[in-house]
Amino acid sequence: MDASQVIFILSAALILVSALLVVTVRNLIHAALWLIATLFGVAILYVLLEAGFLAVVQVVVYIGAIAIMFIFAVMLTRRDLLDKVPQTNENWPVALGVSALALVGIAFIVRGFVFSLDRIAAPLPENSLQMLGDALISPAAYVLPFEVASVLLLAAMIGAVYVAMNKK
């Protein structure tokens, strides 16, 4: 077992533990911080796959923008919602059932895979970054989903600021 496999196992453990903590901790700020740890573990996996551009995008976009925006939104809205909204969800048994069904489905999918620590990922082609850039700016590829996501995030942030404003 070489160093890259040890790093992979450690980062996979980080991802699994921190993702579990994201959904189990009661404090939303702590959940957001565990989400940042999970996303950082995914960035480590991108580095191991020699996808440096995706690792940087993971850190800058997901950790630097989305997670920080989530923390700001929670900080802006949490004080007003504590008094008005019940803090428990009555539909948690339904969510538990859907999660159990998803776990069973994933188990059936993973059951057919052959796992081995001796296998390594195939190297990326030389022009993979160029192909990714072309796909991101091509109107026929991913430019529309990126623009829709940015508009949704902007609307969510404006909504958080509006909810946080004191009613006069």
Structure tokens, 43: 């960035």
What domains appear along the chain, each with residue ranges and CATH number? 3-164 (1.20.120.1200)
> Cα angle vertex 98, ends 94, 101, to 5°?
140
Question: Mapped to the 3 state alphabet, what secondary structure does the chain carry?
Answer: CCHHHHHHHHHHHHHHHHHHHHHHCCCHHHHHHHHHHHHHHHHHHHHHCCCHHHHHHHHHHHHHHHHHHHHHHHHHHHHHHHHHCCCCCCCHHHHHHHHHHHHHHHHHHHHCCCCCCCCCCCCCCCCHHHHHHHHHHCCCCCHHHHHHHHHHHHHHHHHHHHHHCCCC
pLDDT tens sequence for the chain (168 residues) = 788 889 999 999 999 999 999 989 888 778 888 999 999 999 999 999 888 888 888 898 888 887 777 777 777 766 655 556 565 678 888 988 999 999 999 998 888 777 776 777 777 778 877 887 787 777 888 888 878 888 988 888 788 777 777 665
CA distance 158 to 168: 18
The whole model's pTM is what?
0.60
